[in-house]
Structure 1
Amino acid sequence: MWKFIEQRLYLKEIKEIIQYHQKHHNLTQLEYQSTWQFLMDRLNTDRSLEGVIVNELHFGREAVRELNELSKCVDWKRKKEEVKKGKETKEEHILLRWLFKLSFFFDSCELWNEGFVWLIDIIVQLYRAARDNFRGIRNQCIYSLRNAAKNRVVKVEDLLKGGAADAFLEEIHRPTLNDGITNGCLRFFMNISRRLKRKTDDEMEEARRKATKRKVFEKMEEEGYEDTIASFHVMLPFQSRKYFEKMPSNISDYFVNV
């Protein structure tokens, strides 16, 4: 029931808290993230909040700054054995909370602006930093980018500019590739593939779609990923079935290392 608090009872105060912090930096990192979380938890039941979040309070810009600051406080070289569940540092915990909400935001947002390419860029940076030793952070980055690729308001061009496609292409050929990461990579490219297949009657949009589609496949081919493209053709139909999460235990073998 707490999600259904009327907007008039909290919105003015929450906006003032966020805007005051943006000017004076009076909150701790956890307090600031919690304030945003309070607001975004209500987005499911009140879509009018999205305009406030994106345009008035500049969510993308704020998230980029906070993630940048938090990433500087994480010891990315800390051994995987030392990074145990429930043993995160304060900064790692707050970073995970941001990424969790970003995954939800990318899944549900209906407003987008060009500045969000920097949000994709910082998530890609975090993904690369976390992928060896920080499983929780790595997985939340995968979920966020996968959801971004699925959302029609997120431009495929922004995913390319932000480096998301490059990061997943790199991942496919790492010797430590596992089935969970394979699932995320496949779903990312499956979402992009589905979107690039959708034709439109608008001539300019259709020309842009074709140009982007050509750019994606040229990128894969020029970097030697022809066999990976063949792998996608084998696995994407399987991924499209109702129970796509139930992957075969040897799914990674469908990728051919070149």
Structure 2
Amino acid sequence: MTKEMDVTEKIIELLHELEHCTDSEQKQKIEEMNEIVDGMDEEEFESFFTLKLFNKTDKMIEEEKISMESVFLLLKSVGQHKVLMHSQSYAFHSSSLNKRFEQMIIEEEKKKEERNEKLLIDLCECTVLLSNEISSELLSIIVTCLLKVALKKDENEETQKEVEIALLALSYIEICKSVKQEWYLNEIKEIIKYHQEHHNLTHLAYQSAWQFLMNRFHFNKSLDEVIENELHFSRDATKELEALIKCVDWKRGKGEEKRKKKNKEELFLFRWLQTLGIFFFHWRLRNEECVGLISSVVQVFRASKDDNREISDKCIFCMGCAAENRVVENEDLLKIGAVDLILEEMQGPTLDNYFLERHMKCLFEDFRRLKNAEDYKNEEVKRKATKRKVFDKMEEEGFEDCIIGLCHYICLGEFRYFSLFENYPEYFVYL
């Protein structure tokens, strides 16, 4: 690649060259293309992930200038990158290639005994990984097909990769899609339980299994018994977060103008926090294991706050939801340092309105709970002691001055969710 040629131009050039290659040469060039895709940052990927790319690929298939094996090899790599970069591009969904794949899935499913299982799997994985929307007609076919792959238990590297791709694709099925329990529940429970005992999945595959289940939890609260009491989500998520915190090089690129390319550990950590966000948004029951999980979220925030804004924002969202849903006691929030952390951050010199809004919502929920004596009907002494600890901390940090200083912003309505702060004077009343 010449210095003048950017990565997008190089990919397009290689794609044109495929038309004149043998199958073995195509595979070699596609592996080169996949290496380029893997090294792309978000901006580069968005410029590459275009309708033109997919329509061009579809035309090459139509004219038999590229093998389906080569197509799948390229598209799976592109799709994995899209999911990990949480790209929202709809280019593939609008393409003629997507229409071709959807029709092929339907036709292959109808064959029953003569069905080409490998072809069906490849089609399902590419369709889900690349598209932001799956048709209801294909949903049961895709879920059943990919779970069959994900249930494989061999621990060799090839099988682990197959399982990882299948689970990654499943994790990307939209929250809004109504996936019937009989299609997936026994299978996903088996996958998670088997890993908890035998550790056969990669870290990404295991996170993806939980993400798929948590996406279903969004519209099916009856899964709470399975998620926490049977599969112990909080316990396992805590272990995964603590392991990832140690792996991420938080100071990587410090001093550079901008870090465009995230490392894999950061991407995995962000995906776990997305999963936690759904969990804490809907979870309503107190559980001792949740205390350890929130403590890990606090650790992630402290590690990421100066270096990765997306991750630190997700942490604040999780803590806010946990406080609002009363997942943990105020006393526990104090012990694990959640309240201290928010008080410290709200007085930071670079905190903008969006982040300030997030922090205030989280803290507001903590204070609102302190005011509500119903939580402490028989524990008045404990309630007063907890309130005194928070008051002392606020006094130490000069937090009352901080709130007073924000009044003119609130009155001017500069926050996007103005209604959240209508009762800002009650911050003082709660204490």
TM-score range, shorter chain: 0.7 to 0.9
User: Which moved further from structure 2: 75-84 or 31-40?
Assistant: 75-84
Residues 221-258 of structure 1: CA deviation (Å, up to 9, x unaligned): 2xx22x312433675898699995257xxxxxxxxxxx
Greater relative contact order (Cα < 8 A, sep 6+): 1
C-alpha separation between the residues in 2 aligned to 1:32 and 1:189?
Answer: 32
Is the radius of gyration larger for structure 1 or structure 2?
2
Q: Which of 236, 239, 251 is equivalent to 1:77?
A: 251
- Alignment match, 1:29: 203
Equivalences, count: 242
- Are residues 1:139 and 2:317 paired? no
Q: 1:21 to 1:202 in 2, by over 3 A?
A: closer
TM-score, normalization: structure 1? 0.83
Q: Which of 213, 216, 219 is equivalent to 1:39?
A: 213
TM alignment of 1:96-245, pairs within 5 A: 96-200=270-374, 203-221=377-395, 224-225=396-397, 227-232=398-403, 235=406, 244-245=415-416
Note the C-alpha offset of 1:169. 1.9
Q: 1:234 to 1:7 in 2, by over 3 A?
A: same
User: Which moved further from structure 2: 58-67 or 175-184?
Assistant: 175-184
In the alignment, is the contact (CA less than 8 A) between 1:64 and 1:118 conserved in 2? yes
- Alignment match, 1:250: none
C-alpha separation between the residues in 2 aligned to 1:141 and 1:237?
Answer: 27
- Alignment match, 2:269: 95
Residues 14-54 of structure 1: CA deviation (Å, up to 9, x unaligned): 11110111111111111111100111111122211111101
Residues 178-220 of structure 1: CA deviation (Å, up to 9, x unaligned): 3333222222211112222223296315554333222211222
Q: 1:174 to 1:42 in 2, by over 3 A?
A: same
C-alpha separation between the residues in 1 aligned to 2:392 and 2:373?
Answer: 20
TM-score, normalization: structure 2? 0.51
SS in structure 2 opposite 1:132?
A: coil
Q: 1:79 to 1:174 in 2, by over 3 A?
A: farther
User: Which moved further from structure 2: 24-33 or 233-242?
Assistant: 233-242
C-alpha separation between the residues in 2 aligned to 1:46 and 1:240?
Answer: 39
Q: 1:134 to 1:207 in 2, by over 3 A?
A: same
- Alignment match, 1:251: none
In the alignment, is the contact (CA less than 8 A) between 1:67 and 1:122 conserved in 2? yes
Structure 1 vs Structure 2 CA RMSD: 2.7
C-alpha separation between the residues in 1 aligned to 2:209 and 2:411?
Answer: 38
